[in-house]
Amino acid sequence: MRPSLRILLALLCAIPTLSLPAQDSPYEVKERVRPPHGWIQHSKPPPDHTISLRIGLPQPNFGVLETHLYEVSDPNHSRYGQHLSKEEVEELVAPHPESLNAVNEWLASHGIQEEDISHSPARDWITLTIPIGLAEKMLDTKYHVWMNPTTGDYIVRTTSYSLPIDLHDHVDVIQPTTMFAQFKPYRSFIVKSDEKPLDINTALGTLTNPATGLVVDASCNDTITVPCLAQLYNSTGYIPSARPDNAIGITGYLGEYANTADLQQFYAEQRPDAVNSSFKFISVNGGINNQSEPGYEANLDVQFAFGLSHPIPATFYSTPGSPPFQPDVNTPTNTNEPYSDWIDFVLSQENLPLTISTSYGDDEQTVPQSYAQRVCQDLAQLGTRGISLLFSSGDNGVGDGESNPTAQSCFTNDGKNQTQFIPAFPASIVSVTAVGGTENVAPEVAVSRFYSGGGFSNYFPRPSYQDEAVSGYLKALKPGTYEGLYNASGRGYPDIAAQGDRFRIIVGGSPVSIGGTSASAPTIAGFIALLNDYRLTRSLPPLGFLNPFIYQKGYAGFTDILSGHNSGCGTTGFNVTKGWDPVTGFGTPNFGILKDLVLYA
């Protein structure tokens, strides 16, 4: 019997103790980081260059919200599925009035008035746009332009900032300051496909998955399509409704645009009954969906997530911000990383898709821990409201294993420059579901053309919902395996997996084969949207935060993957084993079994 989640074994994110502010308090360093590997100091930004600062205030009642999150997500709890409203969540994460007053007084001392700032609906975030010169004075710091020679990108950041001592307890985080992460799509191996039209009705023989007994078209070993996934994951014949209280969402960043003409061509090939249907486009912070620039990542995400879940209503979010700075322009368009803008936006919305997939991320160590904790808390709010969040686990194995498992570039940023496995973010967050990658169909194995991201967080302790599964995996490891290279007490990821290579999509009117866990996450999202449909049509609430269900009951609806590993950092990484492992999690979905499990959860 799996343990109940009613007793929490660890807090999701720590909350600081509050103290009263004092006037004319001396400054003290609030946060200091080392620039991640690959970034070099380039120049000074112009003092009149504007920057949009986001100030996160402590959420003193977050522990109460966390309790709600676990109770409404625990299939063994009497409150399972009783998700909170937007207003109820905002009440729980609202800052203490003393924190608001202290920060407002500090801002006013620098000439910034109430009309110069904006608040999140819960008032736990304050945003203001000011010149760099003023930001440097307020934070007792110096900003620089930093360059990444590998990518050619520039960002405006500092490696430390300070606040008045008595303001420290009233501020969790201020960004952009020490945040060097650049969220990138988790995709790889883009190759032109056969130009011949795909005929999904022409069988080339069949294969039988020995783990499930399911029969799959033999062509699925070479080319993954919507019908292949339906066969492999046992959803063939299920016809979902188009009810308006269910929807699936895809996030888009970095100039990745979802092309509607390509979607129609994709539907004509792989989902003919979906032809002439499309998605709702939502612009976040001025994001566009340029139809003359189809994106490989955006097209992959929308074509498969929406192709698998049709006719469930679909949404594509576009958030701008790439690259954030050009050193020869005084006023660049955006100095924030775009992920913050998306979180701000969705938390302010009353109605959201019940399933949202994100295929972007970066190394955990490029993200300050204070910021990572706030993202954890923000995403927990969405889970408490009944939203299922899926994130790709990454394509670099345990660190740098995308194409060279013998490389030795997994270095820590703590000044010791030690070799260490590098977890991915946001996949390492405990309040989301991370998705690894597989390939082949008879049987499925961990993907090998790239390596499924997986391992253990250095920021987030192992949550109670996965304690039994992860402890079992670690106990089975040979003593001393990778000692010192990973945090054995950290949150293990991924949680589950799906096919991640040789996906046939349409880009610019031509077929393309693409791989990456950025294919796996939208695939899982499509099936979660189907499961939500199944529950809603039976007057049951949506699944919401998935992990407590997966680790207590849902694991029985996933097919265990038994072969493969995830190389990186000069090692072969972790091995796939029976049960949960940090390569493929509990394995890949069997929709037919999961339908029964979610019905009686």
- How many Å apart are CA 493 and CA 496, to the nearest integer? 8
Per-residue model confidence (pLDDT) at position 16 = 41
- Taking 90 as the threshold, does the pLDDT of residue 581 lie above it? yes
Lowest mean pLDDT among 90-104, 333-347, 417-431, 481-495: 333-347
**Measuring CA to CA, how many Å separate 4 from each of 44, 65, 121, 298, 381?**
54, 18, 33, 39, 21
Percent of the chain with pLDDT over 90: 80
- 232: Cα within 13 Å, side-chain hemisphere: 30
Residues in the chain: 601
Determine whether 17 is exposed, middle or buried from the number of CB atoms within 10 Å of its CB (0-12, 13-18, 19+). exposed
At 195, the pLDDT band (50, 70, 90 cuts) reads low
Name the CATH code of domain 185-198+240-408+420-471+491-599 (choices 3.40.47.10, 3.40.50.200, 3.30.450.20, 3.40.50.11540). Answer: 3.40.50.200
At 189, the pLDDT band (50, 70, 90 cuts) reads low
DSSP 3-state of 89: helix
Q: Which residues are catalytic?
A: 297, 301, 518
- 340: Cα within 13 Å, side-chain hemisphere: 26
Per-residue model confidence (pLDDT) at position 400 = 81
How is the chain split among helix, strand and coil, in percent rounded to 5? 30, 25, 50
Strands (E) in 205-348, as ranges, are 206-208, 215-217, 248-252, 280-283, 314-318
Per-residue model confidence (pLDDT) at position 478 = 92
CB neighbours (10 Å) of residue 9? 12
The 10s digit of each residue's pLDDT in 38-55 is 899 999 998 988 899 999
Instruction: Check residues 237 and 414 and name the one with the higher pLDDT.
Output: 237
Short-list 287, 329, 321, 332, CA closest to 51:
332
- Taking 70 as the threshold, does the pLDDT of residue 330 lie above it? no
At 338, the pLDDT band (50, 70, 90 cuts) reads confident
The 10s digit of each residue's pLDDT in 303-324 is 999 999 999 999 999 999 755 5
- Taking 70 as the threshold, does the pLDDT of residue 9 lie above it? no
Bridge-based pairing state of the strands 40-43 and 117-119: unpaired
**Measuring CA to CA, how many Å separate 585 from each of 360, 400, 458, 527?**
19, 20, 18, 17
At 157, the pLDDT band (50, 70, 90 cuts) reads very high
Contact between residue 174 and residue 141 where contact means Cβ atoms under 8 Å apart: no
- How many Å apart are CA 363 and CA 478, to the nearest integer? 27
Lowest mean pLDDT among 36-40, 283-287, 537-541: 36-40
Angle formed by the axes of helices 260-270 and 296-309, to 10°? Answer: 50
Short-list 136, 141, 180, 160, CA closest to 40:
180
Tell me what the mean pLDDT of segment 571-591 comes to.
Answer: 97
Query: What residue ranges do the domains of the chain occupy?
Result: 27-178, 185-198+240-408+420-471+491-599
pLDDT mean across residues, the chain:
91
Q: Which amino acid is at 244?
A: P
- Taking 60 as the threshold, does the pLDDT of residue 335 lie above it? no
